[in-house]
Structure 1
C-alpha cells in the first residue's frame, strides 16, 4: 500500500480494458480515441507496441485509416514494466504479438493504479486464440469485441481470413494478405465442400 501513496496513485483505481476483434474492425482506432481522450483530460499517457510491427511506421501506432499516435516499440512485455513510470494510462497495441507474460505485466500495472487499455486480435487466421489475448480478455475489467464488415456479404465479420499461403501464426499483413469475413463466408472458403 505504501507504494500507491508514494506514487500519488492512492486515489486512482487501476483497470484493464481490452478492445478485440478481427482485422479491419477498428481496434487501433478505438485505442487511439481512448488515449487521446485521456490526454485531453490531462492524464499522463504512454503507448507501447511490439517492435516487430513496422507495417506503417517504426514508432507510431497507425490505424488502417492512418490516424496516428506516438508509441514506444518494445521487444517483450517486461520492457513495458521497466519503461512505464509516472503515468496514469498505458495503451498497448497489437497485443497478440507480445509474449505470454503480458497478462502478468498488465495486472501489475493495474494493481499500481494505472488504467491499461489493450487492443489486439483475439483470434488468428485459423480462428484460434491469438497469443496472450484469451488470458487478457479473462482478466480484463472490461472487454469490447468490435466487428469489421464482411467483404463478401456485408454482415458483421468476426474472422481474419488469410488470402496468401503460409501456416505460421504471425504474418504481418494488410488488405492484400487478409480480409474480414463472417462465419458463413469464412466457412465457404475454408471448407468449400461442406
Structure 2
C-alpha cells in the first residue's frame, strides 16, 4: 500500500520495484495486483513481456492462477523504451528472459519519473542467478521475494527444480516440467 500511496503523492519521481522468487511463488500474481491498483488510481500503465513467453497467451501476462492483463510482447529490452512514452507505470514480467540491457532500460524509465515494476525468477533451474535479475536486485529501490511451497516436504521453497534432464537454460514449462523445492530438497534432488 505504501508504494501505491507514494505513487499518487509524488508522480515526478520514478523508481524500480523487483518481485522475485521461484516458479509457482506468486511473482506474476503480485505484479498483476500492483498494476491493477495503479489502474484503479487512474495511472497510465503499460505492461511488457518477452516474446518467447507464450505458455498461456501470446498477448497477455497470465499467472498460474489464470489471472491476466493485456501486455505487449517484445523481442528485446530496447523495445520497452520505444513503447513506454506517456505512461506512469511500466510492468515487466518474466524479466529473466530479457537481455542484459534491461537494467539500463529500467533505470532510464525510472529517471524519467516512471514507476517500474519487474517480476522474474531470481535463479535458474540449477540455482544460479538468472539473466538481468541480479543487477536489478542490486539497484532497485524496492525488492520483494516471494516463496512457493516445497512440493516434497511442505517448507518454503525458493528453488525451481526441473523435472526433466533437459540441460538448455530456457525451457518453458509448468508443473509438468518444474516443481518448487526448499534448499534441502533441492540439494537432495540434484545429487
Instruction: Tell me, yes or no, whether TM beats 0.5.
Output: yes
Matches within 5 A, 1:1-194: 11-191=11-191
Residue 11 (structure 1) shift: 4.8
For structure 2, which runs of at least 5 residues remain unmatched after alignment?
1-9
CA change 1:18–1:11 in 2 (3 A) is closer
For structure 1, which runs of at least 5 residues remain unmatched after alignment?
1-9
Q: Does the 8 Å contact 2:90/2:116 carry over to 1?
A: yes
- Report SS of the residue matched to 2:49: strand
Separation (CA, whole Å) in 2 of partners of 1:188 and 1:176: 20
Aligned residue pairs, count:
182
Deviates more, 1:10-19 or 1:167-176: 10-19
Q: TM-score, normalised by structure 2?
A: 0.94
- Report SS of the residue matched to 2:164: coil
Separation (CA, whole Å) in 1 of partners of 2:163 and 2:92: 27
Tell me the C-alpha RMSD between the 2 structures: 0.8
CA change 1:49–1:11 in 2 (3 A) is closer
Query: Over residues 40-92 of structure 1, what are the superposed CA-to-partner deviations in whole Å (9 max), with x where a residue is unaligned?
Result: 00000000000000000000000000000000000000000000011000000
Separation (CA, whole Å) in 2 of partners of 1:11 and 1:178: 40
Separation (CA, whole Å) in 2 of partners of 1:108 and 1:187: 39
Separation (CA, whole Å) in 2 of partners of 1:42 and 1:187: 46
Query: Over residues 121-140 of structure 1, what are the superposed CA-to-partner deviations in whole Å (9 max), with x where a residue is unaligned?
Result: 00000000100000010110
- Report SS of the residue matched to 1:164: coil
- Report SS of the residue matched to 1:113: coil
